Each structure stands twice: as C-alpha cells, then as structure tokens.
C-alpha cells in the first residue's frame, strides 16, 4: 500500500524527480515544491501521512521551524528530513524539532521508501550506519585546531609549563636551573619530560609548537617564588 507523501525541497528539480520516482512505485504524492514561507501551511492544509522535507543546511539555526509548526498543528503527519551527510548537530536539530527520520540525499529510492514506511508506522526512520556515525562523532569529537593548545597544556604540570615558557624564551639549561632555583640535572629532566609529553624532539620544536597552538597564551604562567613557595 502506497504512502500519501508530500515532497518539499529547496531544489525544485530534486523534489520533482523524487516525486516522480515515488509515483512510479505506487505512492500518492500530493505536492512537490521548494520550501518557503508557506511550506508549513501547505503541509498542514494537505495533511499527508509523511512529509519529506529537504534541506542543504541541517545545522543552520531555524531551518527546522516548519517542522516544529507541522508537528504542533498536524501531529498526524510524520516528517522525515532529506539532507546532506550531516553533522551530529544537524541530526540532533532535526529530531529536536519533531522530525521522526533523517535520510541522506544520496540515498537510493529503496532507502527512501523504507524511511516512509517506518515514519508512517510511527517508527524512527534513520539508517543504523548514519546513527552510528553521528554517535561516534558526538562521543569522540575531533579536536578543533584552537583546542590543541588547551589539550597540550593539560598534559603538563605547572612546573613543566614554567620550563616550557623559559624554553620558548630561549633560556638554556643553566639559565632555567638558576631561574627556577633547581639543579641543572633537574632542569634537564624537566625539559626532557616536556619534550616527551609534547611529542617533539628538540627545544626548538617545542617552542614552535607552543607558539603555533597558542599553548602559552592559555597558560597561567607560574613563576618560582609566586607559585612554589618554600620550594628548595
């Protein structure tokens, strides 16, 4: 039994092509139009079982406002978002607005049909692979470039941060030892630990990495007497 479906997409040709494909497979397509200010009105007035809502920007603020209104005024209509390879934020925004499914725009027509059937049955319509990918990214987010300095900073102790500051300022082992009032051998040990933790092979590389990631800008730079009272 075919699904009574409405196709809305900001690319009219895509909407009409998908509508034609669904008609050929026995579904009743009520309309195919680009979403605009009246998109929600159209869905509410025609009352399809399922609305396929296409968007190129699923993470854009406010893009799912029509979904919110459709679900509020026509709760019998299930909304499935048709979008690009999404970020977890895009998927979360779609479901938060009331959508019951998310289908990639490059999905085969059989996948779209499965989503329509699940949506009409009141089930969540999203492929396990897409959901797994979204959860994987949410649970293990890639570090943003400007987070790298903070991540590296967390690897170092306060004293190692001070050593790195002094290394970046061009101090040699003798100067580091004198400035921190520690033995030269202890200073060398601290420097080696800093290099190891930062994953670099030389003081020059450590200084360059600190400058590139903004590590030192994020550091509360400790100094000998202020932060280590009573230190030998």
Instruction: Report pLDDT for 141.
Output: 56
Does pLDDT of 89 surpass 90? no
Question: Is 136 a residue whose pLDDT tops 50?
Answer: yes
Which of 10-19, 73-82, 195-204 is most confident? Answer: 73-82
Q: How far apart are CA 226 and CA 222, in angstroms?
A: 7
pLDDT band of 211, cuts 50, 70, 90 = confident
Q: What is the pLDDT of residue 232?
A: 37
CA pair distance 99, 77, nearest whole angstrom: 10
First CA to last CA distance, the chain: 83
pLDDT at 6: 95
Contact (Cβ atoms closer than 8 angstroms) between residue 116 and residue 23: no
pLDDT value at residue 127: 82
Q: Which pLDDT does position 190 carry in this prediction? A: 93
How is residue 80 written in tokens? 């499935």
Which position has the higher pLDDT, 93 or 109? 109
Give dist(CA 192, CA 160) in Å, integer: 10
Percentage of the chain surpassing pLDDT 90?
40
CA 141 – CA 46 distance, rounded (Å): 41
pLDDT (average), residues 72-77: 94
Reported confidence tier of residue 227, pLDDT bands at 50, 70, 90:
very low
Contacts of 228 (CB under 8 A, 6+ apart): 158, 159, 222
The reply to whether the predicted model has a pTM over 0.75 is no
Q: CA nearest 75: which of 53, 57, 48?
A: 48
Helices (H), the chain: 12-24, 39-46, 65-73, 88-97, 109-120, 128-139, 148-155, 158-168, 173-180, 184-198, 203-213, 215-218, 224-227
Confidence of residue 29 (pLDDT cuts 50, 70, 90): very high
Name the pLDDT band for 150 (thresholds 50, 70, 90).
confident
pLDDT of residue 63: 84
Please check the confidence at residue 183 and state whether its pLDDT lies above 60.
Answer: yes
Q: Residue 12: pLDDT above 60?
A: yes
Sign of the C-alpha dihedral computed for residues 90, 95, 99 and 102 taken in this order: positive
Condensed to tens digits (0 to 9), the pLDDT of residues 185-194 reads: 999 999 999 9
- Residue 47: what pLDDT? 93
């Amino acid at each position: 039994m075919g699904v009574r479906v409405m196709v809305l997409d900001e690319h009219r040709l895509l909407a009409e092509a998908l509508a034609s494909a669904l008609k050929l497979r026995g579904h009743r397509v009520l309309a195919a139009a680009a979403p605009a200010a009246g998109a929600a009105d159209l869905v509410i007035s025609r009352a399809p079982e399922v609305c396929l809502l296409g968007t190129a920007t699923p993470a854009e603020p406010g893009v799912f406002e029509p979904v919110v209104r459709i679900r509020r005024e026509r709760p019998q209509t299930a909304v499935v978002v048709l979008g690009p390879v999404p970020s977890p934020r895009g998927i979360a925004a779609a479901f938060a607005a009331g959508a019951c499914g998310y289908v990639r725009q490059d999905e085969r027509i059989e996948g779209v049909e499965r989503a329509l059937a699940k949506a009409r049955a009141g089930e969540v319509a999203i492929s396990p692979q897409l959901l797994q990918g979204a959860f994987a990214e949410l649970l293990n987010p890639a570090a943003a470039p400007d987070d790298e300095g903070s991540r590296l900073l967390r690897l170092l102790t306060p004293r190692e941060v001070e050593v790195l500051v002094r290394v970046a300022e061009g101090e040699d082992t003798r100067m580091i030892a004198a400035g921190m009032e520690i033995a030269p051998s202890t200073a060398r040990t601290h420097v080696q630990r800093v290099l190891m933790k930062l994953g670099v092979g030389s003081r020059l590389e450590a200084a360059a990495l600190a400058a590139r990631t903004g590590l030192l800008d994020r550091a509360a730079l400790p100094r000998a007497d202020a932060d280590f009272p009573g230190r030998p």
